[in-house]
Chain A
C-alpha cells in the first residue's frame, strides 16, 4: 500500500513504460489546466487562413475554418479528462458501493445485483451506447452517464469478491464479536482495503471512457459543441476531399497522436498499478493453472 512521503520510491516501482505514461498524463493535465495560457489563438474562432499547414504562427496548422489546431488540442484535453475522470469517479464510486453492498448484505440483494452485473457484462457496450446516445441526445453529462452505466460492473465485481474474502478474515470476525457496527467496519477495515482496488479500476475506466467518447464523437454522436479530440477527428474525416489532399497530415494526425498517447499512457500506468496493488493478480495466475 502507498505510504505518504515515499513518492519517489513509489515512482521507482513503475516500469519504464509506466513512467513514460505518468509523464505524458502529467503533460496532458498541464495542457488542460493551462490551456488558455499556452495557446495563443482561440480554440473556437478563426485566427488564420483555413487549412494552413503547421508554421511559426500555428504550430499544428489550422482546420477548415482557420481555427488553430494546437489550441483545439489543448482545450480538447479538458474534455477528455472531464469525460474520463467523470466517468471513472461516477462508475468507480457506484461500482464500489454496489460491490460492497452486494457482498456485505448477501442473500437476495447479492443475487439480484449479480444478475444485473452479469447482464451488463455480456451486453456489447458500443451498440447499446450508440442507442442510448441516440435516444438521450448528445451532451457531456449524458455521455458520462451512458459510459458509467456500462463501466461500473467491472469495479463492482472486483470489489465484491474482495469484500467477500475480507468478511471471512479472522480480524473482521473478531471485530464483529467485539460489537463493531457496520459503519465502523466499513470505515476502519473495508474501505482502506478496497480503496486501492477501486483506484486501479478507475484508471482503467478513465482510459476506456476516453476511447468510448472518442468513438462516439467520431461517429458524430458526441456533444457537437465539446471540441473533444474525437470530434476533431470527426470533422477532419467528414471534410470532403480529405483523402485527396495533404490536410490530413496535420488536421487528423494531431488529435490522433494526442488520443493514442493518452490512452496508451493510461493503459501502461494501470498495468503497473495492477501489478502492485491488485491481490487478484495472484488469483488470476491460479486460474490459468486450474484451466
Chain B
C-alpha cells in the first residue's frame, strides 16, 4: 500500500512537469514560419488576404500569444486538444483514430524484444565468452547499429518483393471487407514485418542488459547456496537467477517507452501504417501544429502511464521495495 502511494505521488508529480513542457512547446511553436491557415491556403491553391484573415479569426489565430497560451492550457485541462484545420475534425478524434495501430505495434514489438532479448541474454550468459555468447553479442551490436527504417526497407525487398511471403505495408488488405477473427488475423499478418523492424534495436538493448544482469546475479552468494543445495542448473537459473536478473529489464521498459514511440514514427512511415507516428510526420509536413502538439501531449501521457505501470510491476517483482516504501 505504501508503495502504491509512492507510485501515485510520482504520477502526480509528473503532471505539472507535463504542463510546463506543453506551455514551453506552445510558445516555441509560435516561432514556426507559416501557420495552419497558410498551409490550408496553399492546399486550396491560394486565396486572398480577406479570406486568410477570416480563417485566422475562425481558428482563433488572430489573438495575441499569451491569450492563446492561456486558452490552450485551459482547454488542455479539460482534455480538449483543439481543432485540426487540415483534417477538419477535433484533434482528439484524429489522434484516437490513429492510436490503435501504434499501440498494437508498440505492444507487440515490446513483447518480442523483451522475450527474445531475455532468451538470448540467458543463453549468452550461460556460456560466457563461448561461441554462443560471441555470436549473440555480435548480433546484438549489429542490430543496435542498424537504422530501423533501412532494415524495414530491406525486409520489404526480401519478404514482400522477392519471396512474396508478407505484405509490403498497410494495415490490412484493402477492400477485403474482413470482419471478426479474420480481420484480426489480417492485421496481425500486416504487422509482422513492422513489429520485427521496430523490435530490433530494443532487442539488442534488452539482450545486452539481460546478459549483464545474469552475470551480475550468477556471482552472488545465494546462487552458490542454491547450487550447494543440489538444485539442477536449470532450476537455479530459472527460479533463482532469472527472477532477480529481470529487475533491470523491467526498468528498461519504462526508460524505452518514449524511444519506442519515436521509432514508430519512422517504422509507420516505411510500412504506411495509419498510426500516431505517421500522423506526427504528416502534421510536420502539413504544418498542422495543433495536431502536432496534441501528439506530443498524448505521447507524454503514454510515457507517464507506462512508467506508472512499470513502478507497480517493480513492486510485484521485488517485495523489498514495498517493505522499505
Are A and B physically bound partners? Answer: no
Residues of B within 8 A of A (CB): none
Residues of A within 8 A of B (CB): none
